[in-house]
Amino acid sequence: MLPAKEQPAHPYMTSSPACWEGYGALLAVQYTSPERMAFHQLIVDAYAVQHPGGGDRRAVQSVGIHLMTLAMFIEDGVDQGSAPVSIGEWSSGRSSTGYTDRWRYRLNA
């Protein structure tokens, strides 16, 4: 259990201020090490799906995209370096990877 803190947290993810602070500290350490950056997208995606937020459009889309990238890495073995391009395509609706339709079906099923 993390201690209660009086400070800002993420605007729509459901994280406590202490958890948000810990996540920020983890990211800060990652940015100082190329070896750790190899796992950056996994950490971002895992944090996001564990702190989903409410039912507003932003939160739902965020969780959907983070679940899609986790599935790309874990289920399909796609290299994490391709995630930023895929995320940009998915969020703009111009995906050339075919993952958008595939995961839309899986998430709705």
pLDDT on residue 108: 46
Residue 20 sits at φ, ψ, to 5 deg, of: -60, -40
For 68-92, the pLDDT digits (tens) are 888 888 887 877 776 666 666 666 6
pTM of the model: 0.73
The average pLDDT across 40-65 equals 86
Task: Look at residue 105 in the predicted model and tell me its pLDDT.
Answer: 45
Name all contacts of 1-6 with Cβ < 8 Å and 24+ positions apart: none
pLDDT at 109: 42
What are the domain boundaries of the chain? 38-108
